[in-house]
Amino acid sequence: MTPHLITHRGISIATLASSDPIESHCAPGHTAIREQGDGWWLYFVDEDGKVDGYDRPFASHDEALWAAKAAAEFSAQ
């Protein structure tokens, strides 16, 4: 699967396949949504390239995307 990329408030948000490494597809400042066995996980790449994420998955891609857009809104302020 080719990652699907959108930009919201200047933040790139990539939807990745479960096998896609975040570090290979996301630069510092980007957000990643990745489906894994237990749901849709949201990850953030900081300015040093460190990947961090929420401690539990979202039930759907739409919920994860909504949260990613909300985080982009917050960081744009």
pLDDT in tens, 14-53: 999 999 999 999 999 999 999 998 999 999 999 999 999 9
Give the pLDDT of residue 73: 87
Type and span of the H or E element at 45: strand 39-45
User: Domain span at residue 60?
Assistant: 4-76
pLDDT of residue 61: 95
Number of domain units in the chain: 1
Whether this model's pTM surpasses 0.85:
yes
**Spatial separation of the C-alpha atoms in residues 56 and 49, rounded to whole Å:** 21
**Cβ atoms < 10 Å from Cβ of 74:** 10
